[in-house]
Structure 1
Amino acid sequence: MTAEQLQQLIAAGLSCEHIEVTGDGRHWAAVIVSPEFEGKRPIARHQRVYATLGERIKTDEVHALSLKTFTPAEWAAQN
């Protein structure tokens, strides 16, 4: 799997205003900005991303995924 493929999988299942994915093919890091994160705690946000990946997150196809999740307002405040 490539970073672009992983990014497309996440974007297909989650409304994203911004998404960056980096990694080495097994260990990944993603920055995701989505209005769907409004009112959700970090664990619920992560679970929402994991749900978009389905079985891939449970297998070695996506071995490790580090997430930074933001609402659009949180993202705007950081940038």
Structure 2
Amino acid sequence: MLPEDVRELILEAFPDAVVEVQDLTGTGDHFAATIVSERFSGLPMIKQHRLVNQALLDYLEDGRIHALALKTFSPEQWQRASVQLES
């Protein structure tokens, strides 16, 4: 799979999201994704990650996505993280 394919799958489940996906190994099955979505507001990180994993479940189960490192944020969390990075 290409990172763009994974990005599109995530956007299908989270149409409001800002999504960045990287291929970590060049093999098309190990990815890192950063996702900012209003759907994550008020949810702990584990629930945010479960929502993403559920959206990609078929691809995770059949091995098309072998590994997926997630960084998920609500818009508020993203803003706070960005401010911390600037400091």
Higher-Rg structure is 2
What is the count of residue pairs matched by the alignment? 79
Instruction: Note the residue ranges of structure 2 that are not aligned, 5 or more in a row.
Output: 83-87
**Match in the other structure for 2:21:** 21
Shift of 1:59: 1.8
Moved over 4 A (4+): none
Q: TM-score, normalised by structure 2?
A: 0.84
* TM-superposition CA deviations, 1:16-35 (whole Å, max 9, x none): 43110001311100000011
Could you say which residue in structure 2 is the equivalent of 1:63? 66
Matched letter for residue 6 of structure 1 = V
Which fold has the larger relative contact order, with Cα–Cα distance below 8 Å and residues 6 or more apart in sequence? Answer: 1
RMSD: 1.1
Partners of 2:36 and 2:75 within 8 A in 1: yes
TM-score w.r.t. length of structure 1:
0.91
Q: Which runs of 5+ in 1 are unaligned?
A: none
Identical-pair percentage:
35
